[in-house]
Amino acid sequence: MDDIAAEWLTKVEERFGSVVEIRMVRAHAGAQPISVLFFETGKSGQVRAVTFGLSQARRTAWRLAKPELMVIMNSTHPEWGLAAGYFASRYFGRRDFSYGETFMMEQTLAPDTMMQGMLVFAPAVDSEGEQIFEISRSRIVLGGLYPIYHGEDQLVKEWGLEKFWKERKGFDPFDPHRPAVNSGWSSS
Question: Looking at residue 167, what is its pLDDT?
Answer: 66
Question: Looking at residue 188, what is its pLDDT?
Answer: 39
Q: Read off the pLDDT band of 165 (50, 70, 90).
A: confident
Domain ranges of the chain: 3-166
DSSP assignment of 27-66, as one string? SSTTSPPEEEEEE--SSTT-EEEEEESGGGS--TT-SS-E
* Sign of the alpha-carbon dihedral angle for 57, 61, 62, 68: negative
Question: Looking at residue 1, what is its pLDDT?
Answer: 64
Question: Looking at residue 2, what is its pLDDT?
Answer: 84
Residue of 129 and 122 predicted with greater confidence: 122
Q: Which of 34-48, 73-87, 154-168 has the least mean pLDDT? A: 154-168
Dist. CA 91–CA 27, nearest whole Å? 9
% of the chain at pLDDT higher than 70: 95
153 pLDDT more than 70:
yes
Report pTM. Answer: 0.92
Buried b (16+ CB within 10 A) or exposed e, 93-113: eebebeeebbbbbeebbbebb
Helix (H, G, I), strand (E, B) or coil at 163: helix
The predicted-structure confidence for 45-93, as pLDDT tens digits, reads as follows 999 999 999 999 999 999 999 999 999 999 999 999 999 999 999 999 9
Q: Read off the pLDDT band of 126 (50, 70, 90).
A: confident
